[in-house]
Amino acid sequence: MKNIAILGSTGSIGTQALEVVRANPARYKVDVLTAQRNAELLIAQALEFQPEVVVITCEEHYAQVKQALPNTEVLCGEDALVAAVQLPQTNLVLTAIMGAVGLKPTIAAIEAKKDIGLANKETLVVAGELIMQLAKAHGVKIIPVDSEHSAIFQCLTGEDINDIEKIYLTASGGPFRGKDRSFLAHVTKKEALKHPNWVMGAKITIDSASLMNKGLEAIEAKWLFGLQAEQIEVVVHPQSIIHSMVQFTDGSIKAQMGLPDMKLPIHYAFSYPNRLKSDFERFSFLKYPQLTFAEPDLQNFRNLQLAYIAMEKGGNMPCIINAANEVVVDAFLKEQVGFLEMSDIIETCMQDIPFIEKPTLNNYLETDQQTRIFASRHVTK
């Protein structure tokens, strides 16, 4: 029996994680469930899975959750996430909350010697060096849940003594693959939320459409696998069947393949290092007779290039682009900025927010807040 804390249980990753738990009741028990504001779904989940602790971070919903769960410890606020991940019996903390808010509870879980199922890429984007150092110091395993990083992780199993020459992160290209700037200048929120292959939350879907998601994944991969920017290549693969690849120094390439279903990497993270039987739909080569690849369009989708610039610059620069991106995506979803304007505001933040070469945790937190304020001012112009 593995005891699991799920941070962000009402989101896309969280709900699919609970499907995996539901299918394996003898193997997994849920200790903690958390949500930001979806009180009704959180209550329903808690009644079904009977966790020890429930956290609702939005205070206005606390009374509703508390009243509905009289026999469960109900906590409120972002600081409660830090307390919730430290239950003594918890083995694995799945960080499925979106954004930099995942940083503090991830650090707390690592310091409490909990293994991490990492679905919050922003944690490593913002403070990757710090997180990986802490994980090593506390003997904690960080098991990636993003499909691309899970694929790399799986390809590297058993390859400890062999050097990586390069990794390939695959990108579907999103709903606007092949479109030019004149088209992108007028795309709507509704159009951007129509991902061709994956069912995801709104924020990550917009990131996929702008290719920022792939830029953030490249930064995450740098820290997860100890790579340099030039060892990470993004390739557009519209079918989303090959989830990513590793090229070794002898020229051999290993790829991890499967249908675009997030339950697969979640299932692997929960069962690692074992592979447990599942009833998920199986991939058929005959249904996908062609797998195609292309270079990403950096001219029309500038976010990917901006992310690489931030990765190469290092310091607090990835923290800056992450905070700026969270602000502009929220603004785009509220129809306050255009699709192309998002990149413009992110670039302005990169130019104007003070650069710190060797940031501390407090520097990261201050940079995050400063960037959000600065980016928000540009949204309102």
CATH number at residue 337: 1.10.1740.10
166 CB neighbour count, 10 Å cutoff: 15
Question: Which H or E run includes 7?
Answer: strand 2-7
Q: CB of 175 within 8 A of CB of 265?
A: no
pLDDT of amino acid 204:
87
Mean pLDDT across 32-45: 97
**Do 86 and 158 share a structural domain?**
no
Same-domain status, 192 and 216: yes
Does residue 267 lie within any of the structural domains? no
In this prediction, residue 268 carries a pLDDT of: 96
Per DSSP, the three-state class of 29 is: strand
Share of the chain above pLDDT 90, in %: 92
pLDDT digits (tens, 9 = 90+) for 124-161: 999 999 999 999 999 999 999 999 999 999 999 999 88
Residue 306, in any domain of the structure: no
Domain shared by 171 and 294, yes or no? yes
pLDDT in tens, 196-212: 777 677 888 999 999 99
Domain assignment present for 292: yes
Give me the CATH number covering residue 138. Answer: 3.40.50.720
Check the CA dihedral 193-241-20-207 and report its sign.
Answer: negative
**271-314: pLDDT as tens digits:** 999 999 999 999 999 999 999 999 999 999 999 999 999 999 99
Answer yes or no: is pLDDT of 381 > 80: no
Of 144, 178, 204, the one marking the end of a domain is: 144
In the chain, the number of structural domains is: 3
Out of 144, 169, 192, a domain closes at: 144
Is 272 part of any domain? no
Residue 85, in any domain of the structure: yes
39 within domain boundaries: yes
Same domain, 297 and 374: no
Q: Same domain, yes or no, for 12 and 49?
A: yes
Q: What is the dihedral of CA 273, 241, 20, 2, to 10 degrees?
A: 10
Both 57 and 25 in one domain: the answer is yes
Domain containing 23 equals 2-144
Q: Of 144, 172, 197, at which residue does a domain stop?
A: 144
pLDDT of residue 195: 81
Q: Are residues 186 and 91 in the same domain?
A: no
Same domain, 116 and 187: no
- Other residues' Cβ atoms within 10 Å of the Cβ of residue 133: 13
Q: Has residue 263 got a pLDDT over 90?
A: yes
**Do 89 and 191 have their domain in common?**
no
**One domain for residues 135 and 194:** no
**What is the maximum span of the chain, computed from C-alpha positions, in angstroms?**
61
Q: Binning pLDDT at 50, 70 and 90, where does residue 101 land?
A: confident
243-261 burial string, b = 16+ CB within 10 Å, else e?
bbbbbbeeeeebbbebbbb
- Residue 297, in any domain of the structure: yes
Q: Are 49 and 192 members of one domain?
A: no
What pLDDT does residue 50 have?
97
Q: Identify the pLDDT of residue 194.
A: 87
* Statement: residue 331 has pLDDT above 80: yes
Distance CA 274, CA 202 (A): 32
Mean pLDDT score of the chain, rounded to an integer? 95
* CA 129 to chain centroid: 17
Q: Give me the pLDDT at residue 196, please.
A: 77
**Chain centre to alpha carbon of residue 318:** 14
Q: What is the mean pLDDT of residues 80-89?
A: 96
Give residue for tokens 């520097």: 363
Is residue 324 a part of any domain in this protein?
Answer: yes
Same domain, 127 and 200: no
